[in-house]
Amino acid sequence: MVGKIHRSIYARIVVVLLLAVLYAACATSFDSKGRYHKVQSGENIWKIASAYRIPVQDLAELNNVQDGSKLEPGQKLYLPDRPKGRSWKKLPKVEQEKQFNAPIETDRSKFSWPVEGTMLSGFGIRNGRRHDGIDIATKVGTPIKAAASGKVVFSDRIGGYGNTVIIRHPDNFFSIYAHNQKNLVKKGKTVKRGDEIALLGATGNATGPHCHFEIRHGQKARNPLFFLPVKK
């Protein structure tokens, strides 16, 4: 019982922190550092990750590199910040090294595409700003579906995101659906993969009708293309 209470409190704290991150941003967040690495002949993503002390998964997702051995000379890779905080510093050096040399992980079965349409923007750096999700365009009013089963923890308007639905999934994952014309589910509702949760629109800071879709692990934005089935 105590364990369940602690997990419940922790889950609420994570949701509050996540909402704070989203209120402070608007689907994109300014990145003033603009650090890039120009790929040299013979380099792969693991060599670059180790040189800059950046976890290879972070480097791969931010640059949408799913095969780290196939980099082109002259290709520019954006360099995310090195991990910060006590938890990282406390890791033994051998554990840190594992993160520079680890295989690039994908999980194609974890989520489904929330809507069929044209992908306008991917995850990563866009015009000097971090784009924390993908944008999928189609007709206004098209139903948006839950990408996986979970519980709705937010259904309201949120700054530049406009009408937004956030679903919490197992293992501290969240999916976010923004710029909706209308939200169809309320906070607290349990949904299954494929349930209709919103209608596509252009509310908030949107230049046209599309679904801005994010996957986050806690507060950390992850590249949705590493978790969605590959489109044929």
Q: How many domains does the chain have?
A: 2
Task: Residue 124: give its domain's CATH number.
Answer: 2.70.70.10
Domain end, chosen from 51, 79, 101, is at 101
Q: Is residue 22 part of a domain?
A: no
- Which single residue is written with the structure tokens 């002949």? 41
pTM for the full predicted model: 0.87
- Domain of residue 134 covers 107-226
Count other Cβ atoms within 10 Å, centred on residue 137: 18
Q: Is residue 74 part of a domain?
A: yes
Q: Could you tell me if 215 and 125 lie in one domain?
A: yes
Domain end, chosen from 101, 127, 144, is at 101
Q: Could you tell me if 95 and 161 lie in one domain?
A: no
Asked if 18 and 219 count as a contact pair (C-beta separation under 8 A), the reply is: yes
- Percent helix, strand, coil in the chain, to 5, is 25, 30, 45
Q: Could you tell me if 112 and 212 lie in one domain?
A: yes
**Cα atoms found within 13 Å of the Cα of residue 198, Cβ hemisphere only:** 35
Q: Is residue 17 part of a domain?
A: no
Q: Could you tell me if 121 and 81 lie in one domain?
A: no
Q: Could you tell me if 125 and 188 lie in one domain?
A: yes
Q: Could you tell me if 87 and 116 lie in one domain?
A: no
Q: Could you tell me if 112 and 203 lie in one domain?
A: yes
Q: pLDDT tens per residue, the chain (232 residues)?
A: 445 545 666 677 777 777 777 766 654 444 555 688 999 999 999 999 999 888 999 999 999 999 998 999 999 999 987 777 656 667 787 877 888 889 999 999 999 999 999 999 999 888 777 899 999 999 999 999 999 999 999 999 998 999 999 999 999 999 999 999 999 999 999 999 999 999 999 999 998 999 999 999 998 999 999 999 998 7
Element of type H or E holding 2: helix 2-24
β-strand pairing of 143-145 with 134-137:
unpaired
Q: Could you tell me if 203 and 121 lie in one domain?
A: yes
DSSP 3-state of 223: coil
Q: Is residue 5 part of a domain?
A: no
Task: Residue 77: give its domain's CATH number.
Answer: 3.10.350.10
Q: Could you tell me if 75 and 162 lie in one domain?
A: no
Domain end, chosen from 101, 118, 144, is at 101
SS (H, E, C) 35-74: CEEECCCCCCHHHHHHHHCCCHHHHHHHCCCCCCCCCCCC
Q: Could you tell me if 177 and 219 lie in one domain?
A: yes
Q: Could you tell me if 115 and 97 lie in one domain?
A: no
Q: Is residue 10 part of a domain?
A: no
Q: Could you tell me if 198 and 164 lie in one domain?
A: yes
